[in-house]
Amino acid sequence: MKLQKPKGTQDILPKEAARWHYVEEKARQLFSQYHYGEIRTPMFEHYEVISRSVGDTSDIVTKEMYDFYDKGERHITLRPEGTAPVVRSYVENKLFAPEVQKPVKLFYMGSMFRYERPQAGRLREFHQIGVECFGSSNPATDVETIAMAAHFFKELGIEQVKLHLNTLGTADSRKAYRQALIDYLLPYKEQLSKDSQRRLEENPLRVLDSKEKEDREIVAQAPSILDYLDAESQAYFTSVCDMLTLLGIDYVIDTKMVRGLDYYNHTIFEFITQLDGNDLTICAGGRYDKLVDYFGGPETPGFGFGLGVERLLLVLEKLGINLPVEEPLDLYVAVLGDNPQVNSKALELVQAVRQQGFSAERDYLNRKLKAQFKSADNFKASYLVTLGDNEIDTGQISLKNNQTRAEISLSLADLMTNFAQVMASQATSASK
């Protein structure tokens, strides 16, 4: 029996969890500025929800699904991404109904699962923050959503991230391009990697995305989708580019970027950063106008992105960006001696302070006072009080401001009933 965590998973301990909270809280705040509401869907779905929508030749579906049969013989998979489940939910809950205000803007955050070879920034359970916007085929929606991601990175202090933009155009454009690509790649078939030979049969656009050296050399000269766009695709892409420029958002057009999922059309994008000299995508998304229809809803345009939280945190760390996550303790209660009455009083005191909405901690281990004061410093306690036989007998305590070291004397009862006022009076007496 293995008593370690499964390969490709992580325990997130409190110090690290504080960084997660910070990032998640920033996302919540920002997304609500853009009028997004949260959606929570199940962590597992029927296999079919993912298989065809994501694309049954995609790496996600062919190699990376965490699927199994449950006790009722249902084919289930842990969700590998957020878009298909959200679209499923959009249709199932009839959010397409006319009485629901359009566009419908939804965000989510949570675990995703992919059976991958674990490495830096690549896990089997990882977390995404994602957004989906339904019901607008206005290119301003594409730009607003991309701008929101850019805004998020800016808020976190990440400047070293580059927006890569491409278009897949309409179905017609893509069909024409696909043929051109096949015509170009076929003569090189034997020189392509095994995976790309397979991709050439199943989904030739994916060859463009290959990371294999032999493929990249061949792909470098491949025709560009931009030369195969019909008028509609061209106009759409131009609008997106123009509005990005208008908002002052830098981008590079990257015609080799095609994305790993099958459902996209028109705009696709990635935010890419460098990690130890390699490209690392932290956020990716695009437009998907056929997906709602695929799930049995009325044809509804969609746009969204998914952002890898582990990769984001990794990048923040590599960039030396320290998130302001320290939460000081309001009161630390040092406990002197092993008198059970003192022990109970200390418990009453921290509870009373907590009930007033402040944070409090105490000693439980009967340690030497010096060690307890050290804990108070470690926890960045604002105030410190020592409880011993003497304090219990007299009902008087000395409250120490742990930063200025100023002390005031007051009754224990006052501290327990009105901690806020005590702190305020201490602040004024210190300034006198």
Q: Does the CA dihedral 11-14-15-20 come out positive or negative?
A: positive
Q: Which residues pair with 323 in a beta bridge?
A: none
Smallest distance, ligand ATP to C-beta of residue 32, A: 22
Smaller CB distance to ligand ATP: residue 121 or 135? 121
Q: How far apart are CA 215 and CA 210, in angstroms?
A: 6
Strands 104-113 and 162-167: unpaired
Peptide bond into 328 cis (omega under 30): no
Binding of residue 311 to ligand ATP (CB under 6 A):
yes
Interaction pattern, residues 167-196, with ligand ATP; x per rule: CB under 6 A: ------------------------------
Q: Which of 105, 114, 362, 400 binds ligand ATP (CB under 6 A)?
A: 114
Smallest distance, ligand ATP to C-beta of residue 30, A: 18
Q: Which of 121, 135, 139, 302 binds ligand ATP (CB under 6 A)?
A: 121
Smaller CB distance to ligand ATP: residue 39 or 331? 39
| Strands ordered across the beta sheet of 302-308 | 37-38, 104-113, 125-134, 302-308, 278-287, 265-275, 162-167, 252-253
Binding of residue 206 to ligand ATP (CB under 6 A):
no
Per-residue 3-state assignment (H helix, E strand, C coil) for 77-140: EECCCCHHHHHHHHHHCCCCCCCCCCCEEEEEEEEEECCCCCECCECCEEEEEEEEEECCCCHH
Smallest distance, ligand ATP to C-beta of residue 258, A: 10
Smaller CB distance to ligand ATP: residue 310 or 330? 310
Smaller CB distance to ligand ATP: residue 74 or 117? 117
Is residue 259 a known part of a binding site? yes
Smallest distance, ligand ATP to C-beta of residue 268, A: 10
Interaction pattern, residues 56-95, with ligand ATP; x per rule: CB under 6 A: -------------------------x--------------
Q: Of 122-130, 225-233, 241-249, 401-409, which segment contacts ligand ATP by CB under 6 A?
A: 122-130
Smaller CB distance to ligand ATP: residue 63 or 175? 63
- Interface with ligand ATP (CB under 6 A), residue total 17
User: Going by C-beta distance under 8 Å and a sequence separation of 6 or more, which residues neighbour residue 113?
Assistant: 66, 78, 79, 80, 124, 125, 126
Helix (H, G, I), strand (E, B) or coil at 27: helix
Q: How far apart are CA 10 and CA 16, in angstroms?
A: 11
Smallest distance, ligand ATP to C-beta of residue 312, A: 7
Smaller CB distance to ligand ATP: residue 305 or 332? 305
CA-based nearest residue to 141, from 42, 269, 16: 269
Q: Does the CA dihedral 46-49-51-52 come out positive or negative?
A: positive
Smaller CB distance to ligand ATP: residue 31 or 126? 126
| Strands ordered across the beta sheet of 383-387 | 360-362, 331-335, 383-387, 396-401, 407-411
Smaller CB distance to ligand ATP: residue 275 or 392? 275
Is residue 264 a known part of a binding site? yes
CA-based nearest residue to 303, from 107, 134, 422, 138: 134
Binding of residue 310 to ligand ATP (CB under 6 A):
yes
Is residue 114 a known part of a binding site? yes
Q: Give the pair of three-digit tokens for residue 424.
A: 């305020």
Smallest distance, ligand ATP to C-beta of residue 285, A: 7
Is residue 296 a known part of a binding site? no
Distances (CA, A) of 308 to 151, 280, 283, 358: 16, 10, 6, 34
Task: Report the Cα–Cα distance between both ends of the chain, in Å, rounded.
Answer: 66
Is residue 83 a known part of a binding site? yes
Q: Which of 123, 257, 381, 412 binds ligand ATP (CB under 6 A)?
A: 123
Q: Token pair 């463009």 is at which residue?
A: 208
Q: Of 28-36, 116-124, 243-251, 406-414, which segment contacts ligand ATP by CB under 6 A?
A: 116-124
Smaller CB distance to ligand ATP: residue 161 or 415? 161
- Output phi, psi for 409, to 5 deg: -105, 135
Smaller CB distance to ligand ATP: residue 258 or 381? 258
Tell me the CB-side half-sphere exposure of residue 388, using CA atoms within 13 A: 9
Smallest distance, ligand ATP to C-beta of residue 309, A: 8
Is residue 407 a known part of a binding site? no
- The crossing angle, in degrees rounded to 10, of helices 14-33 and 139-155 is 140
Residue numbers 250-309 binding ligand ATP by CB under 6 A: 260, 281-284, 306, 308
Residues that bind ligand ATP (CB under 6 A): 81, 114, 116, 121-123, 126, 128, 260, 281-284, 306, 308, 310-311
Query: Residues annotated as binding site?
Result: 81-83, 114, 128, 132, 259, 263-264
Query: Residues annotated as binding site for L-histidine?
Result: 81-83, 114, 128, 132, 259, 263-264
